[in-house]
Amino acid sequence: MADATQSCNPAVNTDPRVLRSRQMLMEALLRLLNRKEFADISIQEIADEATLNRATFYLHYPDKNALLQAMTAARFRDLIARRGLSFTNCDEALRGIALGVCDYLAEASGCPANLAKMPLEGSIIPVVEGMFAEGAEKHAMTPGTDPKLPAAAAAWAIFGAARRWHQTPDRIPAEEMAAKIEAMVKPIFHAGSE
């Protein structure tokens, strides 16, 4: 899977200059979101804030939405790493992703106001779909089943359930919610596998 945070060339992905430029662009976007709405931020402003030129921006991202998705992916993967979640089997992966989404939504409410107000599904769902697509490559699917379909269904189900959990006053702990989401979403994958 080609991740929004990585190019297809693995050598480029480990180049410290590339990683540093991407990090600078993500941090610049985050600082700008403290001051402006996402829709009002231009690519030139992001490049200027990152002290990079516009051409450098386009070497890494096709547009500011791709940068936002990369920033989301990096934050989401960081949350999973901080939790020490492992993906040694499908159940652990599914629960880990659900827990990561719950954590992400809870943490996003403490982000810059303009980021917290954004509809997060446009940035988190593609990341979750990509994680499921990576996992689907390791499992046999029923012939004729498009592996992207259960990945999309599961990603939207997880996000929707986690968002409902996040909007509930006096909500249960994230770990409990992740277990409930896992039980709810698991049948989606069983329906498409052999």
> Residue 75 class from Cβ within 10 Å (0-12 exposed, 13-18 middle, 19+ buried)?
buried
Q: What is the dihedral of CA 70, 43, 112, 128, to 10 degrees?
A: -20
- The tens-digit pLDDT sequence of the chain (194 residues) is 333 333 333 334 678 999 999 999 999 998 998 888 888 999 999 999 999 999 999 999 999 989 988 888 888 878 877 777 666 677 778 888 898 889 888 887 666 555 555 566 777 888 888 888 777 777 777 777 777 888 889 999 999 999 899 888 899 999 999 999 999 998 887 765 65
Q: Quote the CA–CA distance of 104 and 108 in Å, as a whole number.
A: 6
Instruction: Tell me the two tokens of residue 87.
Output: 């993906």
Instruction: Tell me the two tokens of residue 183.
Output: 């039980």
